[in-house]
Amino acid sequence: MPQNATTGRGAWRWGVPVVCLLAGLLLAATHGVSGGDEIRRSDSPRLVDLVRQSQQSVDRLSAQRDALAEQVDTTHGGSSDRALSAMQARAAELAGEAGVDPVHGPGLIVTLTDAQRDANGRFPRDASPDDLVVHQQDIQAVLNALWTAGAEAIQMQDQRIIGTSAPRCVGNTLLLNGRTYSPPYTVMAIGDVAAMQAALADAPLVTLYKQYVVRFGLGYTEQTRDDLEIVGHTEPLRMRYAQPAGPISY
């Protein structure tokens, strides 16, 4: 028998068991990682689904809060409890500073929106997807500039912005206090209009955004109003880390 045939047969005799052993180890490792489930399941949770579930939870809890608040008002509305009356009076005094009460006055409306296609239905050739959408940093830059200029009250979309508000971008949508919004994003502010416009013009990140407006077709407008109405904050005011500055007297 030729020596080459004998060598080939020996290689197959040892090679096949080695391959089977490696395949078994691979299957065992895959089973251990997946826990017996499919690794690439089509029904795995997506970020958008999680956001939608979060919004539904916020809506449900908000309705529950409103019902409990009405129950409290009904129960204690005519009470002569001095401590409760003092707390309600103090809460009314702080409502304006906390942004709970609606306000109106001269102000500015700033609108940001994603890039639009040209007449031929196309975007600029050298634009990446990130160049064509409004980002969280763009919205935050506008808000910071308005606060810096001394804005008395700010509203974004249909919500009042207060110290605990934190707009967050999720994909091409905005998440604010458990609610999701799509562009255009509208920011309304009451205050010294000239000072707010100057602050927006001087803000570096707003200037950078305006360059993208020219280059990639993003949207940006400023409109002045003699009498602008800003809604009051309606979401729960829950302080996790704040502490009273001093004793409360009744």
Give this prediction's pTM.
0.62
Tell me which residue of 202, 136, 134, 135 sits closest to 165, measured CA to CA.
136
pLDDT tens-place string over residues 29-74: 665 655 555 544 544 456 677 777 777 888 888 888 888 877 776 6
Mean pLDDT of 182-208: 96
Strands (E), 80-208: 103-113, 153-156, 159-161, 168-170, 173-176, 179-181, 185-190
For residues 225 and 109, is the Cβ–Cβ distance under 8 A?
yes
| 163 or 143, which is more confident | 143
CA gap 209, 138 in Å, rounded: 7
Distance CA 205, CA 142 (A): 8
pLDDT above 70: residue 229: yes
**Residue 24 pLDDT more than 80?**
no
What are the two backbone dihedrals, phi and then psi, of residue 29, each rounded to the nearest 5 degrees?
-65, -40
Mean pLDDT, the chain, integer: 79
Residue 165 vs residue 200, higher pLDDT: 200
Pick the closest to residue 160 from 98, 109, 107, 221 (CA basis).
98
Contacts of residue 93, defined as CB under 8 A and 6 or more positions apart, other chains included, come to none
Query: Is 50 exposed, middle or buried (CB count within 10 Å of its CB: 0-12, 13-18, 19+)?
Result: exposed
Pull the structure tokens for residue 154.
């700010």
Chain segment 64-94, per-residue pLDDT in tens: 888 887 777 666 555 456 766 776 666 666 6
Residue 138 has pLDDT above 60, yes or no: yes
List C-alpha distances in Å: 139 to 169, 175, 203.
9, 12, 12
